[in-house]
Amino acid sequence: MSAITTPISATPPAWNLPYRGKVGMACLIIAESAIFTIFVVAYLYYAGKSLAGPTPREVLETPIFYTICLLSSSITIHFASRSLEHGKRGGFLVLLFLTMLLGGLFLFGTGQEWHRLIYEHGLTISTNLFGTTYYSLVGLHATHVTVGLLMMGIVLIFAVAGRVGQEQSARIEVLSMYWHFVDAVWVVVFTVVYILGR
- Give the residues lining the site for another protein (CB under 8 A): 1-8, 12, 15, 17-20, 23-24, 27-28, 30-32, 34-35, 37-39, 42, 45-46, 49-51, 125-126, 128-129, 132-133, 136, 140
Decide if 154 contacts 31 (C-beta within 8 A). no
Q: How far is the CB of 185 from another protein (least distance, A)?
A: 13
Nearer to another protein, 37 or 191 (CB): 37
Decide if 129 contacts 51 (C-beta within 8 A). yes
User: Which residue from 21, 49, 64 is spatially nearest to 186, judged by alpha carbons?
Assistant: 64
Q: How far is the CB of 63 from another protein (least distance, A)?
A: 23
Nearer to another protein, 42 or 105 (CB): 42
Q: How far is the CB of 87 from another protein (least distance, A)?
A: 26
Nearer to another protein, 5 or 162 (CB): 5
Nearer to another protein, 17 or 195 (CB): 17
Q: How far is the CB of 147 from another protein (least distance, A)?
A: 14
User: Which residue from 175, 160, 77, 58 is spatially nearest to 117, judged by alpha carbons?
Assistant: 58
Q: How far is the CB of 152 from another protein (least distance, A)?
A: 20
Nearer to another protein, 90 or 126 (CB): 126
d(CA 169, CA 61): 39
B/e letters for 124-145, b = 16+ CB within 10 Å, e = fewer, are eeebbbbbbbbbebbebbbebb
132 sits in which H/E element = helix 129-160
